[in-house]
Amino acid sequence: MIRKKIAVAILSISMVFTMGSFASIYAEESMELDDYSIQEVETTTLQGLGTIDDPWKIETDTVITGTTAHGTAEPSEWDDYYFCFDVGDKGCMKPYASVVNPYHTTWNSLMIYSEEVKDSNLLFENSNFADSFEDIGETGIVSGKYIAKFSMRNCVSYKLKISFEKNDRYEEEIDSQIRPKKIKTDREFYYGETTHDYDAHDYYYFELDKKSKLTIFFKADDGFLYNSFRIYKDNTFSDDSLVLNMREIDFGCDFTETDIYEAGTYYIDLCGSRLDHIGYKFSIGSGEQDPEVSENKARKYSEETRGDFNISYCHEIPFYGKVKPSAKLFGDISVSYNNITYKVSKAKINKKKHLIQITGLEGADKSIVKLIKKATKGSNGLPFTVNPYYVRDTDSVTPKFKTDGTPKSVKIKIMEKYYKAKKNEWEYDSSGKIFSFKGDNLSGSYRVS
């Protein structure tokens, strides 16, 4: 392979193929390169035929042109050319393609595969494009080898460029059934972004070593539309192995779905995007709580005004069990006064009325502290709500069982102190050895090991 770099020049490299086929690969004049004329263009002299067994090796962001083997001869024949290229990072692949056809028919297609040409490896497909050299779609990919199959009929010549741009936002699962991304079932969020105009597929899988009660949580950006979120028992993705089918997920929506899953490996097919560059996130884990709540942290910032004081704080906190509530439960509470911002160091918490009185400010004069105490006293306190504490397998949970194996009680360690759950706050599934928690104080579940 011989490589050269040119800026604005005309270079033509020709090869004569077997069976009388002829092709030329060359960099275009600067006027025809459009936006790419201001940068150097790498050209490559390719050895061998562009067949499925011996594809042409090309570089990304390089304009390739060629004449077809059969041209406009009748009866018309399909010309299939194969190209291979490598990428070293995760990012966005955007093919550009065009054909010249004197009959103005649109018999052509571009298909791009990962590793080798087979249906399960197909990442990208577009067809019926004409003589206007422009991008014909895009998809997210990861580092690896890719093969492009360019097919055309009754065409005189073609032009192709595979553009690639590194981008960490694109999902790592590569839009391919053969390499789905493995995910955890610990409520961790996984993020993706639609990368097609139509019919994008994002694939993931997870493993369960025991029977588990799981909640699927999905949330999308505004403007998002996916037709379905499916879970299968195997990677055939067939109707026979379908265990969950959430269809017609609408714009900017979210959903949760809870069910019992047996031990095994499960595959996710998140598909049907009709809009591009719209993000989504999802998580899988035990229990029935929104994972944003299940983090057991203060959440949802609010701004309150009391006289000349502007106060910012999280107004939702998790249940704190036997711990005496303090300002620490709410994360960072800040108070702005006379263009100076202070951090709250002390506060009185009214547990019954769910109100906060600020009693200390770091670095503030006593006179300012006195004013804020008065401003947030009694009914003027800052309102807050308490969410159930989300129990998971990683928590310190101590159950007690009767001699017959039925549970007697269960304690959960919340913020360094054990809280004994009331009998109406839990249920026990003896078959799966799972405690499920419910009520105003607790949620989630715990599997006895």
- What mean pLDDT is predicted for residues 24-42? 33
Name every residue whose Cβ is closer than 8 Å to that of residue 328 and which is 6 or more positions away in sequence. Answer: none
Percent of the chain with pLDDT over 70: 73
Token pair listed for 312: 């910012």
> What is the CATH topology of the domain spanning 181-286?
Jelly Rolls (2.60.120)
Whole-number pLDDT of residue 25: 38
Whole-number pLDDT of residue 426: 95
Give the pLDDT band (50/70/90) at residue 199: low
> Judging by beta carbons within 10 Å of its beta carbon (0-12, 13-18, 19+), is residue 447 exposed, middle or buried?
middle
Token pair listed for 87: 């990428």
Print burial letters for 304-341: b (CB count within 10 Å at least 16), e (below 16): bebeebebebbbbbbbbbeeebebebbeebebebeeee
Residue 433 has pLDDT above 70, yes or no: yes
Residue 194 has pLDDT above 90, yes or no: no
User: In this predicted structure, which of 61-70, 177-186, 191-200 has the lowest mean pLDDT?
Assistant: 191-200
State which of 40-54, 79-93, 191-205 shows the largest mean pLDDT: 79-93
Task: Give the Cα separation of 189 and 389 in Å (integer).
Answer: 19
Token pair listed for 308: 């000349």
Digit-coded pLDDT (tens) for 274-321: 555 556 778 888 654 455 555 688 877 788 999 999 998 988 899 999
Other beta carbons within 10 Å of 446 = 23
Task: Give the Cα separation of 435 and 398 in Å (integer).
Answer: 11
CATH architecture entry for 2-166: Sandwich (2.60)
Whole-number pLDDT of residue 142: 79
User: In this predicted structure, which of 70-74, 75-79, 125-129 has the lowest mean pLDDT?
Assistant: 70-74
Residue 231 has pLDDT above 70, yes or no: yes
Residue 325: name the closest of 335, 317, 333, 334 by CA: 317
Residue 386 has pLDDT above 50, yes or no: yes
Could you tell me which residues are beta bridge partners of residue 327? none
Task: Give the Cα separation of 279 and 272 in Å (integer).
Answer: 14
- What mean pLDDT is predicted for residues 135-156? 83
The length of the chain in residues reads 449
Between 429 and 40, where is the model more confident? 429
Whole-number pLDDT of residue 74: 61
For the chain, give the mean pLDDT. 77
CB 12 within 8 A of CB 26: yes
Placement of tokens 């009325």 in the chain: 353
